[in-house]
Amino acid sequence: MVQSYLRHGPTQAFGLVCSASSNAVFNGKLAYVPALEDVLVWDVKKGAMLSMWHETGHRAEVTCIQPSPQSDVFAVGYADGSIRLWNASSGSVLTTFNGHKKSITTLAFDERGTRLASGSQDTDLIIWDVVGETGLYRLRGHRDQITNIRFLPSSSDLPSTSTSTAPGYLLTSGKDTFVKFWDLSTQHCVQTIVAHRSEVWSLDVSKDQELLFTGSGEGEVKAWRIDSEALSTGLRETDNGEVVKFIHAIASLPLASRHRVSQISFHPTQAYVSILSHDRSVEVFRIRTEEEIRKKMARRKKRAQEKKKLGKLTEEKEEEGDPEITLVNMFTPHLVVRASGKIRSFDYGADEKTVKAEFQLFIALNTNAFEVYTVPPPTKSKEELPVATRLYSVDLPGHRTDVRSLCLSSDDQILASTSNGSLKVWNMKTTSCIRTMDCGYGVCSTFLPGDKHVAVGTKDGEILIYDVASSTLVETIKAHTATVWSLHVRPDERGLVSGGADKDVKFWEFESKVATSDSVSKLSPSDGKILSLVHIRTLKMTDEVLSVRYSPNGRFLAVALLDSTVKVFYQDTLKFFLSLYGHKLPVLAMDISHDSKLIVTCSADKNVKIWGLDFGDCHKSIFAHDDSIMQVAFEKDSHYFWTVGKDKMLKYWDGDKFEGIQKLDGHHGEIWALAVSHYGNFVVTGSQDKSIRVYEKLDEPLFLEEERERELEQLYEAGIAETMNREDVAMDIDAEENSGHTQSAEVTAVSKQTTETLMAGERIMEALELADNERDKFREYEEAMAKLSEDDPMKMQPPPKNPVLAAYNLEPEEHVLRVIEKVPSTALHDALLVLPFGKVVSLMHYLNAWVQKGWNIPLVSQIMFFLLKVHHRQIVANRIMRTTLIPFRKHLRAALQQQKEMMGYNLAALQYMKRKNEGERVAHFYEEEDWDEDRVRARIMEGKKRKRVTLQT
């Protein structure tokens, strides 16, 4: 009989406040921040997480977040090149765009939110139609990662009858030192500027669309003027025969630091610009008005004249007329906001309708936290300079640094985690942080018997004992002279053992001692007694001790050393029993099974070895991970064990059959820590990405053969998708004569094959095959019946319908339509690319049938035009589709004309309702007030008829 195991599945990730993989967005009340593969929504004032945007099965990290001008819509870019549009109120995915091959680096919406531009590490720029849910075109020109995108609205409105694409301009910057200016109506780059000597990391445009700021990797900010006059006339030549330039250099803006300028952002409503050019600070500049600058210049001139009269100045250049306003005069340093950690990004809060000119600055940190600062308006006096004050900070629900160790209480209700600087205690049911205590660099930890205390071993060689209930440090014991690498409680629960980098194994016993008067007040126990450790003996070793472990029966003590060996001693006499040789690099962790028969060791040499504890024989050596294996632990009452490694994987093994049971991914950093439930229900992991993840045992059985087949299928499908997405076989749909020159084309179509699109294409092919067979079967039956007379005894019943069609009571044409309608609109074009030409000919027949019946005309048109574009050469080369296309053209034109008439009728009805509404409002004013018609219309245009008050709950 085939042995089955129980499958484990990820349930939740916690301990994350704000990861450093992406920028964060703030609207004045709510913060939308990345949390590895999810987006978290925080109420900044309360410090509470309101919701999590999570898509099941999706593992790629969030790399960019961009709010849309349309309310409640956000575009989120991921490391796998996909973009998802999320609805903020429901927390669900509206649509998914797939077109980039590498990580998304920047996103931008146009002013109406109908188009989305995305830039990626693959150097491509893609324009997406948000309403139609399709990729419009791909623009190529940058030679390195695109870092920023900004839309510029076109000043010249195209007529409604124009066949040109939506107008507008686009500014992009890249790590190739270029800033490119794209004309979206012609889909070409019209100006390329070599902006800086190093990478251009940031870019932003002022509110009036006249100034452009760019920031480089060498700490330089340059200002550029956008020529609005040239934009309105378009691309043209001057009298000298030179092409008109749209962007002109002005000057550089001096900064306080020369670090990389990673973000430049103009305030959306107030006259401020903020620049992030230092790890821990944001420089805020105030934009002076022309009047302010003139006054300041006049004061300067007056002072200079007074000094001249006093004879302090020997020479003075006379200025003719008004002096020219320089960039330095216009942008004056206001203040510097200094954060508590390294800054990842910043954003402005929503502009509240207040009299004060202050604003809020939201800062997302690299240290798994975020802060909100209030930036005050400029002060009149020179003595009191404006200082930014920290308003809110959210940092408690997560560690600032890597999670280095985990330990569970005996009832699995409480989890303790340590990192460099803090010990946190978590409620496993609610996954909320219930205690945070300061500690040194905690490397190992364990709950002490009774679950009231936690012992932490630090890098300084100390063992710290904390009382969980009162969140206090009970005692600090200087146990070792170097790092305490391992702690383990004795099976009889009367003491523990510690191993350190000072080559000592020390044995300790628990003792309750009377606390001093000042320490009693801090503790919760009323009897005034605290738990302490008493050193009873020391075992000197020849090398650094990396791990210590008691056998569950209390007979043996295993000690792993830096020389790659494991020594086993008798626990009571400390006599040497066994030495386990075999690992090429040091053993980082080990565990002993519940029956004390097996010991499993994991090493930096990427191998796991299973040994018998009776004779020290190596049962099996398994190449388990692609990098160092950090922790290993047996599951309760079994020989199954778990391993975690620096390759970001958690793996489940059978220690008797020496087989891998399951691989679980999820972490985006090296996994340092592992804790297995005392009841075998779940496993917890802690990682360099600062997250703690729980994997729970499910009721679903797992068979090893099926698991291997599934892994092979995933590899095969990923391989097919990768092959089809290769540049040398990419299909250039738009350029016929440019075959063989796909790479050099500046504009190409947007297509990317994924596992989903391949499966969708296969489903369409299956539906076409099923429908074709059904039609052929009934046509043969009708032909056979046509040859027989009415009263011929050979007349027979029609053949039975296909079970699938019979079950849903569908005709073949309806079945094909239903299958195609279920394909997401974003994946439809890529799914149609999978179809061979034979199936395309078959699909054309169904398209004709749908048009005649008036079924989903927009979808039919979309499919038809795409197929004609893709297979144009084959359609022209043979006449096989002539019989289908001629009647199809006639039917489609009639159907589209009907659609046009319906839309025109609806539009006219809406315009009539609008006029009627306006007429009623005018009449209402006439009745209420004694005004003439012109005054009433002016009042209505001002929108003052009814004052609306927005209530915020």
Task: Please state which of the ranges 413-427, 452-466, 656-670, 838-852 shows the lowest mean pLDDT.
Answer: 838-852
Q: How confident is the model at residue 586 (pLDDT cuts 50, 70, 90)?
A: very high
What residues have CB less than 8 Å from 393, skipping those under 6 apart?
340, 369, 370, 371, 372
Residue 107 placed within a domain: yes
Residues 826 and 877 in one domain: yes
pLDDT at 763 over 70: yes
Cβ-in-10-Å burial (0-12, 13-18, 19+) of 478 comes to exposed
**Whole-number Cα distances in Å, 828 to 117, 756, 862, 868:** 20, 10, 10, 15
Cα torsion at 375, 377, 382, 385 (round to 10°)? -10
3-class DSSP state for residue 113? Answer: coil
User: Which residue type sits at 733?
Assistant: I
Residue 428 placed within a domain: yes
Alpha carbon distance 514, 569 (integer Å) = 35
User: Which of 254, 289, 306 is at the close of a domain?
Assistant: 254
User: Which of 254, 283, 308 is at the close of a domain?
Assistant: 254
Phi, psi of 708 (to 5 degrees): -65, -40
Residue 423 placed within a domain: yes
- Quote the pLDDT of residue 775: 82
For residue 423, give its domain range. Answer: 399-514+529-540
The pLDDT of 779-807, averaged and rounded, is: 74
- Quote the pLDDT of residue 245: 85
User: Which of 395, 426, 446 is at the close of a domain?
Assistant: 395
**Beta-carbon count within 10 A of 242 CB:** 8
Higher pLDDT, 12 or 502: 502
Residue 807 placed within a domain: yes
Alpha carbon distance 772, 780 (integer Å) = 12
Q: Across the chain, what does the average pLDDT equal?
A: 84
- Quote the pLDDT of residue 250: 86
Tokens of 891: 């039917």
Q: How confident is the model at residue 333 (pLDDT cuts 50, 70, 90)?
A: confident
Summarize pLDDT for 496-543 with one digit per residue, the tens: 999 999 999 999 999 887 766 444 444 444 456 778 899 999 999 999
Residue 829 placed within a domain: yes
Residue 802 placed within a domain: yes
Residues 118 and 145 in one domain: no
Q: Looking at the 3D structure of the chain, how many domains does it have? A: 5
- Quote the pLDDT of residue 423: 94
Summarize pLDDT for 838-850 with one digit per residue, the tens: 888 888 888 888 8
Residues 281 and 405 in one domain: no
Residues 407 and 291 in one domain: no
Residues 287 and 355 in one domain: yes
- Quote the pLDDT of residue 859: 86
Alpha carbon distance 75, 94 (integer Å) = 10
Residues 425 and 364 in one domain: no
> In percent, how much of the chain has pLDDT > 90?
41
Summarize pLDDT for 897-915 with one digit per residue, the tens: 888 889 999 999 999 999 8
What CATH number should be reported for the domain holding residue 353? 2.40.128
Tokens of 228: 């609005």
Indicate the DSSP class of residue 715: H
Summarize pLDDT for 444-489 with one digit per residue, the tens: 999 999 889 999 999 999 999 999 988 899 999 999 999 999 999 9
Q: How confident is the model at residue 733 (pLDDT cuts 50, 70, 90)?
A: very low
Residues 828 and 777 in one domain: yes
Summarize pLDDT for 288-301 with one digit per residue, the tens: 877 777 777 777 77
Residues 890 and 768 in one domain: yes
Residue 220 placed within a domain: yes
Phi, psi of 148 (to 5 degrees): -150, 150
What CATH number should be reported for the domain holding residue 461? 2.130.10.10
Indicate the DSSP class of residue 243: B
Task: Please state which of the ranges 237-251, 252-266, 460-474 shows the lowest mean pLDDT.
Answer: 237-251
Residues 865 and 895 in one domain: yes
Residues 180 and 197 in one domain: yes
Q: Which residue has the tokens 């089809």?
A: 724
Residues 768 and 882 in one domain: yes
Alpha carbon distance 839, 765 (integer Å) = 7
The pLDDT of 350-375, averaged and rounded, is: 81
Half-sphere exposure of 151 (CA within 13 A, CB side): 24
Half-sphere exposure of 548 (CA within 13 A, CB side): 30
Residues 41 and 126 in one domain: yes
Residue 491 placed within a domain: yes
Give me the sign of the Cα torsion angle 515, 519, 520, 524: negative
- Quote the pLDDT of residue 491: 92
